[in-house]
Every structure is written in C-alpha cells, then in structure tokens.
A = this chain, B = another copy of it.
C-alpha cells in the first residue's frame, strides 16, 4: 500500500473540500511522508489555494513515496457527502492504481466505500515565497464572511484599508457606497479578538467574488488572518483546529486601478 491515511473525523476533509470546491475544479493532493498538500490556482488564475494537512492531522498516516493524487473536486465532495461528520475515514491508494479508495465507517454497522478515479492534472508547482506583509489583521472568520457577503450585494470590488486605527472594508456600487470598520478589540475568547499588526498603512482593492469564496472556509477556524501589502496578493489564512496539524491559505492578486 503506497499510501494510506486515516482521519478520525471525516468532518475535517469535508470542510476543507467545501472551501475549495468553488474555486478549483481539479486539484492534486500531493502526498509525502510529512502529510498532504494541495496547491492550485483557480481557473482564472487570479486566486491560489494552498492546503497543508500535516501527518499529525491523521490518526494514521503512511506514505512510502511521494505521490500526486489528482481529483475532481466536485466528485470528491460528493464522495465525502456519503460520510457523516463523525465517521472515520480511510484513504488508500496502491502504487500503480488509477483510483483512490475512500472508506468511511460510522458507529453503526454502515460501511460506505468509494473508488474515485484519479486524473492526471498538470500543475505548475509554485513556490510561494514567505511574505512580509505590511499589515497582518486577525479577526473572527464569521465576521469576515459576513462582511464579504454583505458588501457583495453592492458591488464587485472591495477596498481594504488598514492602519493602526482599524481595518475598513469598502465597496462602491451603483446604489451607493458602504464601509465596515473593525477596530482592534479584546475579547474573552481568542477567536473573537480583532488584532492589527501594522508596519505601514495599506490600501488595496480586490475582486469580492473570490473573497466570498475564501470566507467559506470559516468553519475551519474561528479566526482568519489577513496579510496585506500594497500591490501584492492578499493572504487569507485559516489554521486547523490545532495549528500544528496544518492550515488552509488563500492568495488573491489585487485589482489594479484602472
């Protein structure tokens, strides 16, 4: 068995795939002994998804040699719908096989399994340079999702403006202009905090539709970290429950003002 990985809760993979499926049609799951990784551009090559599931995220993980499992995300999502959130999920793939097997087992005596056909997906493996962002903002992921959805109603482009005073999300639309300002704040629960690390104030604009998609990753993590620099891609980072187990990151190129 060239590759075998067990998740104690199928929920993790369900969330991750849900967050991915509106952006990418087909992706490679690159498996190595350290874990699983996905890097994929969206179809219009404006956004990039980067997923890292470390070996520690799995209850069992064995990968004899690196292998790239290319899957259709929509199909994968359907396969995972067969699993209840708390089912155990086993992924298996033999050396030369052209399918990957998903087996999910609930607490009752139900065993569902699926052989998903693998695809050859050409992927330019990108090295994403570690960025130093002028602003790093951390805010509740649900709040970020809410803001993106609300502003989406009024326009396609969002301006993000961050300084020590706070972070402002703005949209100009046909029917008017809207802003949401979040000031830094303390809170009992860490995920309810809003924190800003500002080396230099930043103003930059993005296409809202991608941000709306990114924000769907909210169930992964209570808070989201936004990295912002002028004229550089935005980073939206969602840690897994335990940050050591990995994370899901989204990058989005800014809109250049006309």
Interface residues, chain A, CB within 8 Å of chain B?
72, 75, 78-79, 81-82, 99, 108-117, 143, 150, 153-154, 166, 174-185, 187, 192, 194
A174 to B166, CA, bound (A): 51
Q: Are A111 and B180 in contact (CB under 8 A)?
A: yes
Given A109-B182, A109-B194, A181-B110, A176 and B75 contact (CB-CB distance below 8 Å): yes
Copies, count: 2
Given contacts A110-B143, A112-B179, A114-B179, 17 further A-B contacts (CB under 8 A): A78-B150, A78-B175, A79-B176, A79-B178, A81-B153, A99-B176, A109-B183, A109-B194, A112-B150, A112-B178, A112-B180, A113-B178, A114-B177, A114-B178, A115-B176, A115-B178, A117-B174
Q: Are A115 and B82 in contact (CB under 8 A)?
A: no
Chain B residues near A150: list those with CB within 8 A: 78, 81-82, 112
Chain B residues near A108: list those with CB within 8 A: 185, 187, 192
Q: Are B181 and A112 in contact (CB under 8 A)?
A: yes
Closest 3 CB pairs of A and B: A109-B183, A114-B178, A75-B175
